[in-house]
Amino acid sequence: MDNVILKNVRPFVNGNFEAATTISIVDGVFRDSAPEGTPVVDVNGALAIPALFALGIDFQEPKRDDIYTYRDGFRAMHRGGFYGGLYESTANPVDGIQRLVAEKAALGYQGYDIRVLGAINQDYEAKALAEMCELADGGVAGFGDGNKAFGSMRFLRLCLEYGAMTKKRFFFLPYDYSLAHGGYVNEGNFSDMIGMKGVPEQAETLPLFSLLEMSRWLGVPMHIKQVTSKSALNLIRRAREMGVDVTCDVDIHHLLFCDEEVATLNTSLNLHPPVRSSDDRDALWQGLADGTIQAVSINHFPVHREDKEVNFEDAVPGAISLEIALPALWNRLTERLGEKRAVEVLSSKPAEIAGADVVSLAPGKKASLVVFDPNGVTDVTSKTFAGGVENSPFLGQTLSGKILGSYVAGIWG
């Protein structure tokens, strides 16, 4: 493990950033002092933020290691200051104990705190139940749908009734594929203007209502992934008032973009689900502010360059974000929510949802932090990203704020 002394750094302690001080990290632990000869890094008043936790990461290996690998993903996490994440691969469903053992072995050797979602059904085909009880005994964080259709209401009920025995949380992306019907952008004035088939908000709200009603009926805790609309937030608020145990997150791109910006036809904004209207985006920010939304999700999904350098409607949906999430979000989060809440939605709350350990900068604790200069700038180029993909809508932009280094998995850099 690396030893390092961070000089002139402002640590986040007890909900605030303190005055500039010195932080010593020895053998991966915060200490009062360090041995003589330990490297000293002067960060000139930059912030020491507890390392981040990513909801929604998919490195696609082993089935699609031609696109991306675990190694690429861990490099991306280190560059972005993430100490852990909730892993769910659309290409590699963890639907049995053998797959779980293999996935945990691949994800656990680098020292990151990776929690794995088990699949609710075999191969995400909504035909046969996954081995949920065995998966729970094997240590999955919960059960997910792989961002695929969950099947009929009867099959959903069977999944939830069986999974309820494990006391684990279920993670769903509410999306009605029949209503979306091959749409690529939000249905509304903008989709009409550009002449592109739209996805109505009801493609989110109708399955969401079913999920929430099932959760209320069967008493199963649930997490809703990537809320996109004001109407969906209202359904979640109403369900909580009725006693439903439901948490939710918002994707980084749905916070920072709206359908009007799809006018550029940047295929990195071809996302699943699509970004919504500016009014919906404002509602998502309000949902973060009032606590309706617990966390910001990263949803790091690598796509081959040739699958993005096509017409918008032919592109594979998805974007990568681990490396640039902090500079893309930090200043906007702190302006709207304050520094304490910004740390919560990027670090502690995502970790709590995944059942992971929450990190802090307290003396004697395991060291996991990211050093960030909110006054710096980040020029996003192809070299910013790990691996051979660059499917980010921020490519070519200059972001406010700069990561100076991170200490995660025992490595400073």
C-beta atoms surrounding 218 within 10 Å: 14
pLDDT at res. 110:
82
Write out the two tokens for 33. Answer: 């002092």
C-beta atoms surrounding 337 within 10 Å: 16
pLDDT in tens, the chain (413 residues): 899 999 999 999 999 999 999 999 999 999 999 999 999 999 999 999 999 999 999 999 999 999 999 999 999 999 999 999 999 999 999 999 999 999 999 998 789 999 999 999 999 999 999 999 999 999 999 999 999 999 999 999 999 999 999 999 999 999 999 999 989 899 988 888 888 889 999 999 999 999 999 999 999 999 999 999 999 999 999 999 999 999 999 999 999 999 999 988 999 999 999 999 999 999 999 999 999 999 999 999 999 999 999 999 999 999 999 999 999 999 999 999 999 999 999 999 999 999 999 999 999 999 999 999 999 999 999 999 999 899 999 999 999 999 999 999 999 99
**Is the separation of the CB atoms in 68 and 389 below 8 Å?**
yes
HEC per residue, the chain: CCCEEEEEEEEEECCEECCCEEEEEECCEEECCCCCCCCEEECCCCEEEECEEEEEECCCCCCCCCCCCHHHHHHHHHHHCEEEEEECCCCCCCCCHHHHHHHHHHHHCCCCEEEEEEECEHHHCCCCECCHHHHHHCCCCEEECCCCCCCCHHHHHHHHHHHHHHCCEEEECCCCHHHHCCCCEECCHHHHHHCCCEECCHHHHHHHHHHHHHHHHHCCCEEECCCCCHHHHHHHHHHHHCCCCEEEEEEHHHHHCCHHHHHHCCHHHCCCCCCCCHHHHHHHHHHHHHCCCCEEECCECCCCHHHCCCCHHHCCCCCCCCCCHHHHHHHHHHHHHCHHHHHHHHHHHHHHHHCCCCCCCCCCCECCEEEEEEEEEEECCHHHCCCCCCCCCCCCCEEEEEEEEEEECCEEC
pLDDT at res. 212:
98
Task: Delineate the domains of the chain, giving CATH numbers in brackets.
Answer: 4-412 (3.20.20.140)
